[in-house]
Amino acid sequence: MRRKDKAGIQQETKYRTLLKSVLFGEKIGRTLLILCILSILTFLICPNLISIRYPKEGEISSGLIKSPYDFACEDKIITESKREEAIRKVNPVYVLDLQVIPPTLQKVKGLFEKIKKIREDKTLNLEKGILKFKEEIPYIKISDENLTALIGYSRLYEIEEAVTTLLKTWLTYGTTDISKERLLVEINKGIRVIVIAPTGKSEKLVETTKNLFFLEELPCTSDLYHPTFSSDKFQEVAFEIAKNLVVPNLKFDKKETSKAIKEAVKGVSPVLIKVSKGEKIVGEGEKVDKYAAMKLAELTRHSSTTNITRSFGFALILYVVMILVFIYLYKYQTKLVVRNKNLALVGLIIITAIGLAKIISVTNLPLYLIPMGAFAILLAVLLNEGIAIFVTVLLSILTGVLIGERMEFVLLFISGGLAAIYTTTQSRIRGDLIRCGIAVGVAQGIIIIGYSLFRQDNFLQVQTNLLWGSLTNGVITTIIAMGGLLYLERIFNITTNFTLFELSDLNAPLLKNLLLKAPGTYHHSLLVGNIAESAAEAVGANSLLSRVAAYYHDIGKMIRPEYFIENQSESERNRHETLRSTLSVSILRSHIKDGVEIAKRNRLPQTIIEIIQQHHGESVMAFFYQQAKEEAKEQEINENLELNEDEFSYPGPKPQSKEAAIVMLADSVEAASRTLVKPTPTRIEKLVKKIINDDFITGELDECDLTLKDLNKIAQSFTKILITLFHARVEYPEKEQERTIFQDADNNNTPTKQEETQNQLAQANN
């Protein structure tokens, strides 16, 4: 046993305190997680959110539906017709902004002041005056001919008065940039004009375009101009200037028009249809028409409203049922659900299934689309078949209640879910999920046919149900299962059998690389995998995980393969003979760290990475530890000075699971068995028991779940496999002296001193 100094004891006490706090925190987190799951389920399933599903318009009613009470429902057809009529009578709202007149007239005044300055500038001839006009007044676009007439006209005030008169007229009555065709359509029923003047707001109803002006065709009325104009040319100049300065001040007010429409719609009272208690709404086998659909929709709305007492009672039942479920999981599935992430996974799948069923029910999609088989597959693959079966049955019942107490669907979902689970147990690759989807479709198809014969449905209805419940549901199940596994494996860090089967392929790039760089380690890993798999089956551990983890447990040896004995030829000198023991230990111990880094780079599952870390535990490399003591004696170091065992130990941690412990024991046993000079069954059995006992005594197995009974089964499995492996070897003639030594060793059931040394060296190298 390793000695612990005072600091080590304090450190261990610190770790135990931390572990207790973590466990306490997990209990609190687990409680909050359960409450969260229950709260969400209550929200989804509580009666005040459950709607009894009645047939929709165009569907065939499966039974006679009568009104359970007196009620009135809205005749949406007539009501909508009245609302549309009210909308048609609404006068569009326009805004006439008279506040733009003063700034526009001020702009006219400033314009003609600039023109006067150009005229009075004696340095400018007519041509230069035109150029300066264009530079200083670029916003006035008139022809050069009219510009020449404007600058040369002696009575500019007349043109200014004409422009002012035109703009006042256009803006006072209203000028708009809306097309005349559109306004003519709206003005037939009258438009409501809101006049915004400097003195305030007013309204008027306009029913003709006679006094309105359109920007696209402004009138050039001669009676608006100054009577002393010498020719029509100056009238044209005034019109062109006014057209440049006018701005549209009659605009459509969308906000006020929408407000008027809403008020008109609000003023229309719903037209009600009165339904008496016991009145027939739709008969069995009848097609639901528009009016029957209105009445059934109102029944659906009423059925979703319930009193507080009933809601509390249903919630109480739901809580009791779910608590019993959690008790079952903790009692019979303790190892899985004791971890919060697994409990969260179960809760997530239940909530997703119920939520999806709720969405399908509310959106009036066929209920046969609910993919219960997909959730059964996810539970079976990510956790185990026991949890999957139990939760699938529970989900099927809850879903049947959720969609309106449709018990025929409970049977459908249970059959599809169980078919998926049974097929999943035989699946090895992800492509096999297609077979699971087919199994779900076939199982649900049989239930649909049987139930249809029982209800005597017509052939067309049976075809429709089979299309949705068998064919489409099977496809959706496969898609959801494949996609769900892809993401849930990563989110919850779960290693599924699909992943393990993919990694067990000996053509995997990492294993092929191991074969090329460290062929001895590769073959050693294959043997350890076979030995570990057999032992895992014997004690009920995950045999597939044990085998795959054994394949990869020594991948760190690819970095320095020549320093490990299984990669050295018989003629090759052991490299550790020329190294100090401390350096050898450092090299051998580094293959753990190197293996973890390689595994992370290649994205191996966390479970395999943990086994790589733990497959040597905190064991001491006894061979090099003893060698270090001898080196110390040779250098005449004080014999009372004790070496620190930690410097000659693997970094750990100790195996935390059955699979990690089995890989550790299989690794040690396989390495040691190669040192036996004559591997007889008795010597093999003795060697296996000694290695297992040593690891047990030194505490390497303290943190895993293996019992003494399990260790005995593992020893028997190891012995059986090793005897089978060594039985095929050819026994060559021996010298009499060697035969005597081997016979004595067999009689004593004790390895020779030479074998003991080789055993320690082999274990240190592995």
> How many degrees, rounded to 5, is the angle at CA 693 between CA 690 and CA 695?
110
The C-alpha atoms of residue 6 and residue 383 are separated, in whole angstroms, by 43
The structure tokens 């297609």 sit at: 434
**Residue 93 has what pLDDT?**
92
**Identity of the amino acid at 756:** E
**Residue 442 has what pLDDT?**
93
559 exposed, middle or buried (CB, 10 Å; 0-12, 13-18, 19+)? middle
Tell if the pTM clears 0.85, that is, is over it. no
Q: pLDDT (tens digit, 9 = 90+) per residue, 2-59?
A: 434 434 444 445 444 444 444 445 677 777 888 888 888 777 766 554 556 678 888 8
Of 686, 693, 555, residue with least CA distance to 611:
555
Band of pLDDT at residue 534, cut at 50, 70 and 90: very high
Domain boundaries, the chain: 68-86+269-301, 93-255, 306-494, 500-765
**Residue 236 has what pLDDT?**
81
Pick the range with the lowest mean pLDDT from 130-144, 266-280, 294-308, 523-537.
294-308
Instruction: Retrieve residue 230's tokens.
Output: 């010498």
* Helix (H) / strand (E) containing 492: none
Return the HEC string of 558-605.
HCCHHHCHHHCCCCCCCHHHHCCHHHHHHHHHHHHHHHHHHHHHCCCC
The C-alpha atoms of residue 691 and residue 686 are separated, in whole angstroms, by 9
- Fold of domain 306-494: Arp2/3 complex 21 kDa subunit ARPC3 (1.10.1760)
**Residue 666 has what pLDDT?**
93
213 forms beta bridges with 175
Pick the range with the lowest mean pLDDT from 533-547, 700-714, 745-759.
745-759
Angstrom CA distances, 327 to 209, 321, 322, 335, stand at 82, 10, 9, 13
**Residue 481 has what pLDDT?**
92
- Percent of the chain having pLDDT more than 70? 82
